[in-house]
Amino acid sequence: MEWEKIVQIDNLWIDNHLINQHFDEEIKVKVRGYSIKFSGNVLDYNALSKFIAGSIHKFVYSSQQIRELGDIGAFMQAQKYFGKKNPSTDGKYGELLLFMLVEGVLKCPMVAHKIVTLSNSRDQVKGGDGIFLGNYEYQQGKYHPACLIGESKIMDQFSVCVDDALDSLDRFHNERTAAQFSSTEFMVAKQNISEDFDIDYVYDSLTPGSEAFQQNIMVHPIFLMYNTNEINTIEREALTQKMAESLMKDYFEERGIEHLELIKKKITRWSNLQKVFLDFFIIPVNNVQKFRNTVYYQIHGVEYES
């Protein structure tokens, strides 16, 4: 299948709202670092949050469903799926960004999502944060059919983000929980396959034991957003947008290498995850709660009230 023709999100949004700061890889681990564009010398979440909020219907519905509902109708229905939940604990913002990055960067479309199965806040800790299929670039210029099960974390500390993400993904591989999580994840996915795809092929690709399934390599795309006080320092020291972006580049030149080294060190605790591909998308900010609140406001048009 020509997967890249089915994706709903292209990479233009990244050029408009993010700066590609860093890329590093070692065997089966890739690290991609991005920064949110500064407004003057200040990191501003409004433009990115507005675009993210305006894309929620593409996360909830297939292209065919959007055509049937219309853009406005699909967006209004998507608002209901997100609901007026506490942005401090709502995991769907991370899932939404993961979806946009995997489709935009990896060109692997989401074939099913768990959002339609969420009935309470406890459900958000179950399963992965999206299933994708496509041709994954496992080495430069080399592609292979892949099944991608994502994970996302928006937390205060980078180290905690990594630990939580790897621990969540290990449930698909360890001897105690792999059977339950894998079978449940693929079962739910097959119930929600987008009409945009060859249903039979995708169904087989999500059926353990089938030829299509066994041909796929397993990839875990992982979105991490974390707080760093370094951005506050940049805002205080920078006089212009250009100066702020230059200081942010300096930050990534140092921290980008540290990100990969820390991830490699932590993976040693999860032997099963050393066997699969891990593709990290990392965005540092200076206030994750402000980012969450801004996305909530852009989706619902009001501030959250408990």
Task: Render pLDDT for 254-302 as a digit per residue (tens, 0 to 9).
Answer: 999 999 999 999 999 999 999 999 999 999 999 999 999 999 999 999 9
Domain ranges for the chain: 3-300
Residue 125: band (very low, low, confident or very high) from pLDDT cuts 50, 70, 90? very low
Task: Render pLDDT for 219-235 as a digit per residue (tens, 0 to 9).
Answer: 999 999 999 999 999 99
Of the candidate ranges 5-14, 38-47, 97-106, 287-296, the one whose mean pLDDT is the lowest: 5-14
- State residue 120's pLDDT score: 39
- State residue 63's pLDDT score: 85
DSSP per-residue string spanning the chain = --GGGT-S--THHHHHHEEEEEEEEETTEEEEEEEEPEETTEE--HHHHHHHHTTHHHHHS-HHHHHHH-HHHHHHHHHHHH-S--TTT-THHHHHHHHHHIIIII---EEE-SGGG--SGGGGGSS-S-EEEEEEEEETTEEEEEEEE-EEEEES-HHHHHHHHHHHHHTTTSTTTHHHHHHHHHHHHHTT--TTS-HHHHHHHTSTTSHHHHHPEEEEEEEEEEE-THHHHHHHH-SSHHHHHHHHHHHHHHHHHHHHHHHHHHHTT-GGGGGSEEEEEEEEES-HHHHHHHHHHHHHSS----
**The two structure tokens encoding residue 146:** 């892949």
Q: Of 5-19, 78-92, 278-292, which one has max mean pLDDT?
A: 278-292
Task: Render pLDDT for 143-154 as a digit per residue (tens, 0 to 9).
Answer: 999 999 999 999
- State residue 122's pLDDT score: 41
% of the chain residues with pLDDT over 70: 87
- State residue 117's pLDDT score: 42
Q: Is the pLDDT of residue 128 over 80?
A: no
Q: Is the pLDDT of residue 175 over 80?
A: no
- State residue 82's pLDDT score: 86
Residue 121: band (very low, low, confident or very high) from pLDDT cuts 50, 70, 90? very low
- State residue 172's pLDDT score: 83
- State residue 1's pLDDT score: 76
Query: Average of pLDDT values for 57-76?
Result: 90
Task: Render pLDDT for 16-57 as a digit per residue (tens, 0 to 9).
Answer: 999 999 999 999 999 999 999 999 999 999 999 999 999 999
- State residue 28's pLDDT score: 96
